[in-house]
Chains A and B, each alone.
Chain A
Amino acid sequence: GQSLEQPSEVTAVEGAIVQINCTYQTSGFYGLSWYQQHDGGAPTFLSYNALDGLEETGRFSSFLSRSDSYGYLLLQELQMKDSASYFCAVRNSGNTPLVFGKGTRLSVIA
């Protein structure tokens, strides 16, 4: 089976940087994904890492270390609108569905 661990809650100040960690255990590995979900909204895709290293998309970056079964999402220049839940997700192979972590609720405060 698969399991993912991420912190349940994180609080950070507007304008600061925050890192949300994710560790996973899976029998196979086909990439680490991150999704954002605002309260009452649908999850939206943020990033996908298939290989080790850092992927940058604007204010958001995602990192993967396959040898450590670990990844993180880095949010820079935090804005109030970044307050949301963030989910990491993995899949065993290209023909299996994503398994999601329980999510990290990020609160951005002034």
Chain B
Amino acid sequence: GAGVSQSPSNKVTEKGKDVELRCDPISGHTALYWYRQSLGQGLEFLIYFQGNSAPDKSGLPSDRFSAERTGGSVSTLTIQRTQQEDSAVYLCASSWKEAYGYTFGSGTRLTVV
């Protein structure tokens, strides 16, 4: 596609429920990243997929968080048993070469009530 697509754009969920966030990267981009951003804060790394290599999960804050990337393309970030501190904007990005930078999606704003 023309850009990185994320869905849903907004998600309100009750504490304790599971949520799935989707990312459709730019076709041909081999690397895919998930970050989250709390209001007025920087970007916190969550997980990174590069080609067929094992993902770098070093940023996942707890075992309630998981992600997969199917067929080297679409990725899903799953948060189980959501907590209020999970409320944030979840950003997905893809890239081809470092010199060209990351292209970010518009994000999913998650609110846990």
| Chain A residues near B (Cβ < 8 Å) | 30-31, 33, 35, 41-46, 48, 50, 87, 91, 94-103
CA distance A42 to B19 in the complex (A): 21
Check B101–A33 contact: CB distance below 8 A. yes
Q: Other CB < 8 Å A-B pairs besides A45-B101, A95-B53, 18 of them?
A: A31-B98, A33-B98, A33-B101, A42-B105, A42-B106, A43-B91, A45-B103, A48-B100, A48-B101, A50-B98, A50-B99, A97-B45, A97-B48, A98-B45, A98-B102, A100-B42, A102-B41, A103-B42
Q: Mark B68-111, 1 if CB is under 8 A from A, else 0.
A: 00000000000000000000000101000011111111110000
Seen from chain B, the residues whose Cβ lies within 8 Å of a Cβ on chain A are 33, 35, 41-43, 45, 48, 50, 53, 56, 59, 91, 93, 98-107
Which of A33, A94, A97, A103 is the one whose CB lies under 8 Å from B56? A97
List residues of chain B with CB within 8 A of the CB of A97.
33, 45, 48, 56, 59
